[in-house]
Amino acid sequence: MMLFLFSLMLLSALFAWRGWRHGTLVCLSILLILAAISFYDDITTHLAIAL
Protein backbone atom coordinates (compact mmCIF):
# COMPACT_ATOMS: atom_id res chain seq x y z
CA MET A 1 0.00 0.00 0.00
CA MET A 2 2.81 2.41 0.97
CA LEU A 3 4.58 1.77 -2.33
CA PHE A 4 1.33 2.47 -4.20
CA LEU A 5 0.82 5.76 -2.29
CA PHE A 6 4.36 6.98 -3.05
CA SER A 7 4.03 5.94 -6.70
CA LEU A 8 0.74 7.86 -6.93
CA MET A 9 2.47 10.93 -5.46
CA LEU A 10 5.28 10.60 -8.01
CA LEU A 11 2.69 10.33 -10.79
CA SER A 12 0.86 13.47 -9.63
CA ALA A 13 4.18 15.39 -9.40
CA LEU A 14 4.98 14.35 -12.98
CA PHE A 15 1.48 15.42 -14.12
CA ALA A 16 2.02 18.84 -12.49
CA TRP A 17 5.46 19.22 -14.07
CA ARG A 18 4.10 18.38 -17.53
CA GLY A 19 1.33 20.95 -17.06
CA TRP A 20 -1.77 18.75 -16.51
CA ARG A 21 -3.41 20.57 -13.59
CA HIS A 22 -6.71 18.64 -13.44
CA GLY A 23 -4.97 15.25 -13.55
CA THR A 24 -2.72 16.35 -10.68
CA LEU A 25 -5.64 17.50 -8.52
CA VAL A 26 -7.63 14.29 -9.16
CA CYS A 27 -4.54 12.17 -8.40
CA LEU A 28 -3.86 14.12 -5.20
CA SER A 29 -7.49 13.84 -4.04
CA ILE A 30 -7.44 10.05 -4.47
CA LEU A 31 -4.05 9.94 -2.73
CA LEU A 32 -5.21 11.96 0.29
CA ILE A 33 -8.33 9.78 0.71
CA LEU A 34 -6.26 6.56 0.48
CA ALA A 35 -3.62 7.95 2.88
CA ALA A 36 -6.36 8.91 5.38
CA ILE A 37 -7.87 5.39 5.14
CA SER A 38 -4.43 3.80 5.68
CA PHE A 39 -3.77 6.02 8.70
CA TYR A 40 -7.24 5.22 10.15
CA ASP A 41 -6.53 1.53 9.59
CA ASP A 42 -3.22 1.89 11.47
CA ILE A 43 -4.95 3.55 14.45
CA THR A 44 -7.78 0.99 14.67
CA THR A 45 -5.32 -1.92 14.48
CA HIS A 46 -3.35 -0.47 17.41
CA LEU A 47 -6.53 0.23 19.38
CA ALA A 48 -7.73 -3.34 18.83
CA ILE A 49 -4.39 -4.67 20.15
CA ALA A 50 -4.49 -2.28 23.14
CA LEU A 51 -8.06 -3.21 24.08
Give the residue, chosen from 26, 32, 37, 44, that forms a contact with other proteins under the rule CB under 8 A. Answer: 32
**Cα–Cα distance, 23 to 38 (Å, whole number):** 22
The interface with other proteins within residues 3-22 (CB under 8 A) comprises: 3, 5-7, 9-10, 12-14, 16-17, 19, 21
**Cα–Cα distance, 14 to 34 (Å, whole number):** 19
- The CB-of-15 to other proteins minimum distance in angstroms stands at 10
**Cα–Cα distance, 47 to 13 (Å, whole number):** 34
- Is residue 35 involved in binding other proteins (CB under 8 A)? yes
